[in-house]
Chain A
Amino acid sequence: MARVRQFLPHLVLGAGAFIVLLPFYWMFLTSIRSPAEIFDVSLWPIPKQFDMAVNYERAASQVPMMRFMLNGLIVCLGILIVQVATAVPAAYALAKLNFPGRKLLLTLVIAALCVPIQALALPLFVGLAKLDLLNTYFAMMAPFFLSVFAIFLFHQSFRSYPDEIIEAARMDGFSEMEICWGLVLRGSLPSLAAFSVFSVVAHWNDLYWPMIVVTDINLAPPPLGMLFFSDVESGANYGALMAGAALITAPMIVCFLLARRHFIAGITMTGVK
């Protein structure tokens, strides 16, 4: 009885994990076996015929899969760099400096936290269309240049930085820029790491906004490219389709498995604490 009680949790967790992980396993298995085995529904891990190269090659040649990944990289990095560059000084000023309108700005930041991008998409789209900027990397990145979440997070984290050190640094002739980037941000590196994960994962996986501003397939980030690919293949070749899906999910999965703690902290940062 004691043994049962000891193993029951593992049994339940194992059964749940089997269901949760099944799509990943099936994706990978299908991507390495021959399309001829498509009617084989067994979960046996070793395919009769390895067709990994064929499937992945087809995924990369049917649509510019590598181009999608490159687009995703450009968009994610561009967004992250501007987000950090604008949010860190603002958060520092909000946390450590005095200026008129400070409370108002903080209130606006918190109010903006509740407004999802989907609510702003229409006017932003019309604006970008009027400026003739649709189908550009800029259009894909622009709405995310300001992360109110980053300001909020860094503000929380910077507030606990000791004022005495800032005062001492000023006495020693450090400029405010140096204090902000060199001292205070360095004290909040875990927040920076967590925010970077949060931002990159969110924008690598985002479909809604790219779907609105991009019609040129050569500019598509991975999710939009995947949608396009699955429409082209329309179920004809699941091997290649799953190879494409594996390629697109692989960067995030590999990073997650390598830096599990940071990923979980970063993505659930919106949560409690």
Chain B
Amino acid sequence: MTLILEASSAAAGRGTRVRSKGERRMMWKALLFVAPAVLLLAAIYIIPVVVLAGFSLTDYQLGALSTRFIALENFAKAFDDPVFLRSLKNTVIYAVIVIPLGVFLALGLALLVHGRKRSRAFWEAAYFLPVTATLVAMATVWQFLLHPSIGPVNAAIKWLGFEPVAFLSNPTLLIPTMAMIGVWQILGFNMVLFLAGLTAIPKDLYEAARLDGARHPFDRFVTVTWPMLGPTTLFVVVTTSISAFKVFETVAVLTKGRFGSETLLFDLYLEGFEYSNTGYAAALTLIFLVIILVLSIGQTLHLDRKVHY
């Protein structure tokens, strides 16, 4: 009896040893599988973020002979720098125009397209086209369209009996004009996100709402569609605001920051890569990063919910 017990426990012991050996081999294989990704993660994300934070505390200039540690001086300087403050203000104005228009026009389009059966594919394609098209090239086309004397937009405005509008030379109109191009570009993207959200709403909810007395389509929108679209709407607002704060291409093509039309990223680009004020640009980058991180908290929570560790 004891003999049998001993034998069986020995066998069990051997079994676990064999398994743990196999497990260890598998563990090494797994580590080998993630090794390239881990190395790249360190080289592209972790080390650069640490270096960036380090730069932001110095007056480092690429190619300069000496560098001093200046603590938080760069950050203090940023909030005294009229160009940076102007770029911040411009970016906020841009976002304030792009977010509501980009979200609510897209929602309206999605509601209209969702009801179409045969022509749905066509409308989807038409509104999505600007999303795929190279923005630098399309901004050049917009420059031509909005040209004060030879552009068709101003020709139409004159034909309607109004004064031509200097979209791209009147300083107060620069940011709104670029925001309209931003809306034009993001509309199809948001519309497709809303369409996915609309498709996910169960049909019986509308039936139930109708039985409950929501006869008018508008009532059904308020009682069913809008609340059910809540998560989608939040997500669309977040992605739209992140892309609004990253506006760069339209500025690079249309104004190059002339007439005080710099945006956050464009100012960052100038300081860091044109003027080589590496330390100062690092501080500005950190401010930019904080804005983006705050905006993307919502997005991360959304993604995080879908991950099961």
Instruction: Decide whether A and B are members of one complex.
Output: yes
Interface secondary structure of B, over-half rule: helix
Q: Are A113 and B144 touching (Cβ within 8 A)?
A: no
SS class, residues of chain A in contact with chain B: helix
Q: For residue B196, which residues in chain A have a CB less than 8 angstroms away from its CB? A: 268, 271-273
Contact of A13 with B140 at beta-carbon distance under 8 Å, contacts A253-B132, A272-B232 already known? no
A270 lies within 8 A of chain B by Cβ? yes
Are A248 and B126 neighbours in the complex by a CB distance under 8 Å? no
List residues 120-158 of chain A with CB under 8 A from any CB of chain B: 120-127, 129, 142-143, 145-146, 148, 151-152, 155-156
Residue-wise interface mask of A (153-173) relative to B, using a CB-CB cutoff of 8 A (1 in contact, 0 not): 001100100000000000000
A156 touches B52 (CB 8 A): no
Q: In the complex, which residues of chain B have a beta carbon less than 8 angstroms from the beta carbon of A103?
A: 309
Residues of A within 8 A of B136 (CB): 205, 207, 222-224, 226-227, 248
A interface residues (Cβ-Cβ under 8 A, vs B):
9-10, 12-13, 16-17, 19-24, 26-27, 30, 38-39, 41, 43, 85-87, 89-90, 92-94, 97-100, 102-103, 105-106, 108-116, 118-127, 129, 142-143, 145-146, 148, 151-152, 155-156, 159, 176, 180, 201, 204-205, 207-208, 211-212, 222-224, 226-227, 230, 238, 241-242, 244-246, 248-249, 252-253, 256-257, 260, 263-264, 267-268, 270-273
Nearest CB on B from A218, distance (A): 18
Q: Tell yes or no: B95 within 8 A of A by CB.
A: no
Q: Which residues of B contact A24 (CB under 8 A)?
A: 129, 133, 141
* Interface set, chain B 201-250, CB cutoff 8 A to A: 231-232, 235, 239, 242, 246, 248-249
Q: Complex Cα distance A18/B13, Å?
A: 76
A-B contact pairs, 27 of them (CB 8 A): A9-B116, A20-B126, A20-B130, A23-B141, A27-B138, A41-B150, A41-B155, A97-B26, A105-B38, A105-B41, A112-B41, A116-B242, A121-B272, A123-B51, A127-B51, A156-B307, A201-B132, A205-B134, A207-B252, A208-B249, A208-B269, A223-B136, A226-B134, A241-B140, A242-B140, A253-B129, A267-B189
Q: Does B65 contact A (CB under 8 A)?
A: no
Contacts of B299 in A (CB 8 A): 114
Evaluate contact between A208 and B37: CB separation under 8 angstroms. no
Of chain A, the residue at the smallest CB distance from B300 is: A114
Contact of B27 with A by CB under 8 A: yes
Does the CB pair B124–A271 fall under 8 Å? Answer: no
Binds A, one of B74-82, B86-94, B107-115: B107-115
Nearest chain B CB to A250's CB is how many angstroms away? 10
Q: Are B52 and A110 in contact (CB under 8 A)?
A: no
Q: A211 and B140 in contact (CB under 8 A), knowing A112-B45, A123-B51, A253-B132?
A: no
A123 to chain B: closest CB distance in Å? 4
Point out residues on B near A: beta carbons under 8 Å.
23, 26-27, 29-31, 33-34, 36-38, 40-41, 44-49, 51-52, 55, 62, 109, 112-113, 115-116, 119, 121, 123-138, 140-145, 150-152, 155, 184, 187-189, 192-193, 196-197, 231-232, 235, 239, 242, 246, 248-249, 252-253, 265, 268-269, 272-273, 278, 281-282, 285, 288-289, 292-293, 296, 299-300, 303-304, 306-309
Q: Is the CB of B38 within 8 A of A270?
A: no
| Most chain A CB atoms below 10 A, which of B33, B265, B292, B304 | B33
Q: What is the CA–CA distance of A230 and B143 in the complex, to the nearest angstrom? A: 10
A105 contact from B34, B129, B138, B289, Cβ within 8 A: B34
Out of A87, A93, A129, A252, name the residue touching B62 (CB < 8 Å).
Answer: A129
Report B-chain residues with C-beta under 8 Å of the C-beta of A204. Answer: 134
Query: A20-B184, A152-B303 are contacts. A114–B292 as well, Cβ < 8 Å?
Result: yes
Bound-complex Cα distance A116 to B292 (A): 8
How many A-B residue contacts, CB cutoff 8 Å?
287
**Interchain CB contact under 8 A, B252 and A226:** no
B150 near A39: Cβ-Cβ < 8 Å = yes
CA gap between A11 and B145 in the complex, in Å: 24
Nearest CB on B from A9, distance (A):
5
A116 pairs with B34, CB closer than 8 A: no
Q: Which A residues are in CB contact (< 8 Å) with B249? A: 207-208, 223
Hey, which chain B residues are within 8 Å of A151, CB to CB?
37
Taking CB atoms, residues of chain A closer than 8 Å to B141 are 23-24, 26-27, 242, 245
Q: Are B26 and A26 in contact (CB under 8 A)?
A: no
CA distance A27 to B141 in the complex (A): 6
Closest beta carbon of chain B to A150's beta carbon, Å: 10
Q: Across the two chains, which residue of chain B brings its CB closest to A155?
A: B307
CB distance from A116 to the nearest CB of B (A): 6
Which residues of B sit under 8 angstroms from A242, Cβ to Cβ? Answer: 140-141, 144
Q: Looking at the complex, which one of A86, A211, A223 makes contact with B134 (CB distance below 8 Å)?
A: A223
